[in-house]
Amino acid sequence: MNYDRVRSIDPDAADALAGELSRQRSTLSMIASENHVSEAVLEAQSSVLTNKYAEGYPGARYYAGCEYADEIETLAIERAKALWGADHVNVQPHSGTQANQAVYFTILEPGDKILSLDLDHGGHLSHGHTANFTGQLYEVAGYQVDPETGYIDYEALDERAREFEPDVIVSGYSAYPRTVEWERIQETADAVGAYHLADIAHITGLVAAGVHPSPVGVADFVTGSTHKTIRAGRGGIVMCDEEFADDIDRSVFPGGQGGPLMHNVAGKAVGFGEALDPAFEGYAAQVVANARALGDRLTEHGLSLVSGGTDTHLVLVDLRESHPDVSGGDAEDALHEAGIVLNGNTVPDETRSPFDPSGIRAGTPGLTARGFEESEMETVADLIVRVLDAFEDGEADPEVVSAVGDEVDALCTDHPLYE
């Protein structure tokens, strides 16, 4: 992986590509929605399928020459069915947002109602934020986590649903560390006559591996991303019962997209194939064990975790108690300086702003892909705390940051990436 062919005609682009490769190798990627795919997935994604227009679906395309596109898409679909046990899977959505869009286009008319978790409680833009098409096309109301426990307040959700009478209830979150009780939300959806969309974007891989309960067979629609906890490259998927298969397919194409990104569909096929290997269950279990080890150690250092811990691949730290003078944004910057890449994140009942929130979110999928285990996650937790403790007057002591950076370098060297 040296980008020599790009370099020979375009040194500027080659510098950026090589820079990114070296950045990934030499930093700890702890953004909870990111991962490192295998070299096999990278190869599939950079294949000649990027040249192919394959509007339509296997066996029913609008253009000639789709025989291999059909083969790769069929592989992706069959493997996805085996991984998640869904009746019908559409593997063409360019992203998780577009997977959600396909569901909304299938079941909602403009002006219809969505009930979803508030963004600052862990929801997602594509669940109804005013800056997203969902907030502009639909009427949106929010539910929350219980501020005391940090868990979804299922009773309040139920009450809210009875008042608001939504057409769809959206579950599945971006910054929620706990197991989601799909059945409880389904009961509410049934009681108010709403559809239930379970958006498992963050936990697609955890669900595939059986380390988080599956909403497939519970919720009406399940959407996922293929680049977060499953290492299949950037993209989205939609799953549903046979009953909605044709409508969903039409809502993806031509409803919301043109030609599929067939090179990414190829990445999905290869990544799903890897996830069908029994070793993937071990990977997913290690992702969760690593998040627990990280969370436990941060707690030992006196940090406060939203919900008190984690059942998933991520921890959400509320800095207000342990480090009231350090914002999530400042923490993100100082940790980045030290080579630990994560994000400042809002926490329930945010008292700062989305642009400079009170928390940090850290995930373990990427580090686990590099072979990190619990003891190293404890070391990483220690490094994070060293940087947070080094803050004075809004700035982290550069000497501490640089010393932590040296330890990050050593961890990266011990866990080489894309050699």
Residues that bind ligand PLP (CB under 6 A): 33, 95-97, 124, 126, 172-174, 199, 201-202, 225, 236
Strand order in the sheet with 314-318: 304-305, 314-318, 359-363, 343-345
d(CA 260, CA 402): 45
Q: In whole angstroms, how close is the CB of 345 to ligand PLP at the nearest point?
A: 12
Contacts of 63 (CB under 8 A, 6+ apart): 53, 54, 55
Number of neighbouring beta carbons within 10 Å of residue 156: 13
Specify the residue, 225 or 257, whose C-beta has the smaller distance to ligand PLP. 225
Q: In whole angstroms, how close is the CB of 175 to ligand PLP at the nearest point?
A: 8
**Residue of this chain nearest to ligand PLP (CB atom):** 96
Residue 362: strand pairing partners: 315
Maximal C-alpha separation, the chain: 65
Q: In whole angstroms, how close is the CB of 69 to ligand PLP at the nearest point?
A: 22
Specify the residue, 238 or 275, whose C-beta has the smaller distance to ligand PLP. 238
Specify the residue, 227 or 323, whose C-beta has the smaller distance to ligand PLP. 227
Specify the residue, 27 or 33, whose C-beta has the smaller distance to ligand PLP. 33
Contacts of 395 (CB under 8 A, 6+ apart): 330, 334
- In angstroms, the Cα distances linking 17 to 6, 10, 113, 231, 337 are 9, 11, 43, 20, 20
Q: In whole angstroms, how close is the CB of 367 to ligand PLP at the nearest point?
A: 19
- In angstroms, the Cα distances linking 403 to 27, 292, 327, 367 are 14, 26, 22, 20
Specify the residue, 108 or 201, whose C-beta has the smaller distance to ligand PLP. 201
Specify the residue, 225 or 327, whose C-beta has the smaller distance to ligand PLP. 225
Q: In whole angstroms, how close is the CB of 361 to ligand PLP at the nearest point?
A: 11
Closest CA to 368 of 257, 282, 247, 239: 282
Q: In whole angstroms, how close is the CB of 210 to ligand PLP at the nearest point?
A: 20
Contacts of 373 (CB under 8 A, 6+ apart): 286, 289, 290
Q: In whole angstroms, how close is the CB of 173 to ligand PLP at the nearest point?
A: 5
Specify the residue, 172 or 273, whose C-beta has the smaller distance to ligand PLP. 172
- In angstroms, the Cα distances linking 313 to 17, 175, 206, 252, 365 are 28, 10, 8, 29, 7
Q: Which tokens is 302 given?
A: 């006196």
b/e sequence 192-201, b meaning 16+ C-beta within 10 Å: bebbbbbbbb
Q: In whole angstroms, how close is the CB of 123 to ligand PLP at the nearest point?
A: 7
For residue 378, report the phi and psi dihedrals to the nearest 5 degrees. -65, -40
Specify the residue, 3 or 151, whose C-beta has the smaller distance to ligand PLP. 151
Specify the residue, 98 or 330, whose C-beta has the smaller distance to ligand PLP. 98
Q: In whole angstroms, how close is the CB of 116 to ligand PLP at the nearest point?
A: 9
Is the bond preceding residue 324 a cis peptide, omega within 30 degrees?
A: no
Specify the residue, 56 or 172, whose C-beta has the smaller distance to ligand PLP. 172
Helix (H, G, I), strand (E, B) or coil at 357: coil
Specify the residue, 32 or 161, whose C-beta has the smaller distance to ligand PLP. 32
Are 177 and 32 in contact by the 8 Å Cβ rule? The answer is no
Q: Which tokens is 407 given?
A: 């330890």
Q: In whole angstroms, how close is the CB of 35 to ligand PLP at the nearest point?
A: 12
d(CA 174, CA 189): 21
Q: In whole angstroms, how close is the CB of 132 to ligand PLP at the nearest point?
A: 10
